[in-house]
Structure 1
Amino acid sequence: MSRKMKSYSTEFKTKIVLEVLAGDKTLNEIASAYNIIPKNIMNWKKIFLENAQMAMEPSKAIKEYKDENLKLQDELDEYAKALGKITIERDWAVGKLKSLDLSNKKALVESKLKTISISRQCELISLNRTNLYYTPIANPVKDAIKDEIVNIFEEIPCYGYLKVHQELQERGHSVCVNTVRTYRQELGLRAVLAVRAPNTSWANIQHPKYSYKLKGVDITRANQVWSTDITYIKIKGGMVYMAAIIDWYSKAILSWKISNTMDTDLVMGVLNDALLLYGKPEIFNTDQGSQYTSYIHTQALKDNGITISMDGKGRATDNICIERFWRSAKVEKIYLNEYERVSTLKSDVKDYIEFYNYRRFHETLEYKKPMNVYCDSLKINNESFTESSENVA
């Protein structure tokens, strides 16, 4: 059975030391009288004498204590700053490590490291330790789908997981949307897009304006409403301009042109091509740019019995279909490249519009393709058109 150590108060220790210093009794006599070990009395005496000057000069002792305390506080402040910086840097690094995929996390773990255990390493990078010892069973179906996802990414890098899912189904793979998203995350694939600010059109106050005719209109068929717009594209030698016409119902691009000047020749070129190849719409919507309010453009529409509609001033959303097409074309193709020649740009745009019309899934069409929707609508309404891809100047 262990013996509990006895505790003595400061007053008691001081009394015993003073009695020792008085010298009237021997050390053993004092120790026997108070049932104390002589060695303890000697230790108390030593401590008492070493600190005796504090009793004689208390102000000096207090000052030395305060100075030492201030020095320690300064050191603590420096340590706190250093620790705060290290903590911030550590949290940043740990956050980056946690965002890595499974294979990269597993590669970071060092089994022979003695300073940090494997469990702690896994905890720092949010890796379940069982993943280190699990050997995955080969799944040929999964591998085939992953390979196809990589192929789609290389062919169409602008696709997100929803469109990749549609493309996989079209290629004969049976897989759910969530699985496609998971596989893309495992492969580290993300849609490649770019974003820049849109252009605006210049109005001519001398030209007559027309009201917006599409508010509340139910778009139910192809060739019911067409709209057009001009956007700019920056290339190495300067600026070029692109105009296009879109069918609102199917979202199909009916004609387009690229020119180094933004004038009536550009807008009349796309209008004439669209009328020649696809018939005519009931309503034709534009913005209030001077090219569209010009006499030659408005008169051409009137001569064909087409109702003219124009966006409200400063309301780009009134022509939302073509605005969305510009965004898709730019972020999915044009802004991902640097063009030195107009001919190279035209070739790329031609390829993209063929892809957009005939191969690209469109969310607002329930993942159907624009030109398929356009043709199906014409068949239902007993209409026809002359299809041609040579509609670019």
Structure 2
Amino acid sequence: MSELRSYVSANEPLSVRKQCALLGINRSTLYYDAVGESPENLEVMRHMDEEFTKHPTHGVLQMQDFLLALSFTVNAKRIRRLLRKMGIMALYPRRNLSKLGHAKYIRPYLLRNLAVIRPNQVWAIDITYIPMAKGFMYMTAIVDVYSRYIVAWDVFNSLDAKNSLAVLKSALAHHGKPEIINSDQGSQFTCALWTEYVEEVAKIKISMDGRGRALDNIFIERFWRTVKQDYVYICPASDGTELYKGLSEFVSYYNNVKTHQGIGRTKPVDLYTAAA
């Protein structure tokens, strides 16, 4: 993969997109550079991510106590900064959390009491922090709620809204479109770029979790817990290319081999393709 990437040049007559298509590589792999922090901060972030995966209601002060028990003396300001960089927010009810300028893009939660009875009825999208041996990246994934099938995913070195939109476009190109797509109220989704494309171009209904509600996007949260505990924490990648390859193998296993108790101990691929 790294050898193929070296052949791509912005100075060639062909566009970067066409060069990648001819070489059979994903254009986004050209930008798989891990985000850096100091070695101590990276270790702190890895520990906080593991703790948050187990206890998503833990806030700054509880994280501070948790780190102190591990012999890390970290002030609250530093913990808050690192959690924000990781895209982590404790799950508990809050007031007045909508960012000014983004409130008009927030949509209601449409899944309450909705019977999800078929594939491509509801998709859920989310972003998570992925620790690596040296640095970290962010993974965006979309799950079909009915079958638990991961319809698209990718890794990036930023939380830009365009990354989430790229993953959605990939899912639409390969699997058609859902009736509803659910997300949290993160800035990647409460913006014109996301809402205008989803609603006006793709003609998909947007649903958004209530702020601080742990169960509104439970199926994608379960996938994050599985991919981190079964792969990311056990096999920290040394670079973005290794991470992408490892995640590709794990997502394939998750979709095509692993059985899920929540869907009657069947494989997501069987449930998704049987009725899609």
Instruction: Tell me the TM-score normalized by structure 2.
Output: 0.64
Aligned residue in 1 for 2:177: 280
Say if 1:240 and 1:296 are closer, same or farther in 2 by CA, change over 3 A: same
Aligned to 1:111: none
Amino acid at match of 1:318: D
Q: Secondary structure at the match of 1:293?
A: coil
Contact 2:131/2:232, CA 8 A, preserved across alignment = no
Aligned mate of 2:124, from 227, 240, 244? 227
Identity over aligned residues, as a percent? Answer: 37
Q: Flag the structure with higher helix content.
A: 1
Task: Give distance in 2, aligned partners of 1:274 and 1:367.
Answer: 25
- Report what 2:88 is aligned to: 200
Q: Which amino acid aligns with 1:213?
A: L
1:206 match: secondary structure: coil
Query: Within 5 A, what are the aligned runs for 1:183-332?
Result: 195-198=50-53, 200=88, 204-207=99-102, 208=104, 209-302=106-199, 303-332=201-230
TM superposition outliers: structure 1 runs of 4+ over 4 Å: none
Query: How far apart in 2 are the matches of 1:205 and 1:315?
Result: 20
5+ long unaligned stretches in structure 2: 1-48, 54-86, 90-96
User: What's 2:24 paired with?
Assistant: none
Alignment partners' CA distance in 2, 1:205 and 1:364 = 38
Count, aligned residues: 185
C-alpha contact 1:203 1:289 (8 A) present in aligned 2 = no
Shift of residue 203 of structure 1? 6.2
AA in 1 matched with 2:88: T
Alignment partner of 1:229: what SS? strand
Q: Scaled by the length of structure 1, what TM-score is found? A: 0.45
Q: Does 1:376 align with 2:274?
A: yes
Cα deviation code 1:55-108 (max 9, x no counterpart): xxxxxxxxxxxxxxxxxxxxxxxxxxxxxxxxxxxxxxxxxxxxxxxxxxxxxx
Deviation at 1:316, TM superposition (A): 2.8
Q: 1:280 corresponds to which letter in structure 2?
A: K
Whole-angstrom distance in 2 between the partners of 1:203 and 1:274? 28
Q: How far 1:264 moved relative to its partner?
A: 1.2
Cα deviation, residue 340, structure 1: 1.7
- 2:233 pairs with one of 326, 335, 348: 335
Paired position in structure 2 for 1:388: none
Distance 1:326 1:339 in 2: 16
Secondary structure of the structure 2 residue equivalent to 1:315: coil
Structure 1, unpaired ranges of 5+: 1-193, 379-393
Question: C-alpha separation between the residues in 2 aligned to 1:338 and 1:274?
Answer: 27
Q: CA RMSD in A?
A: 1.7
User: Larger radius of gyration, structure 1 or 2?
Assistant: 1
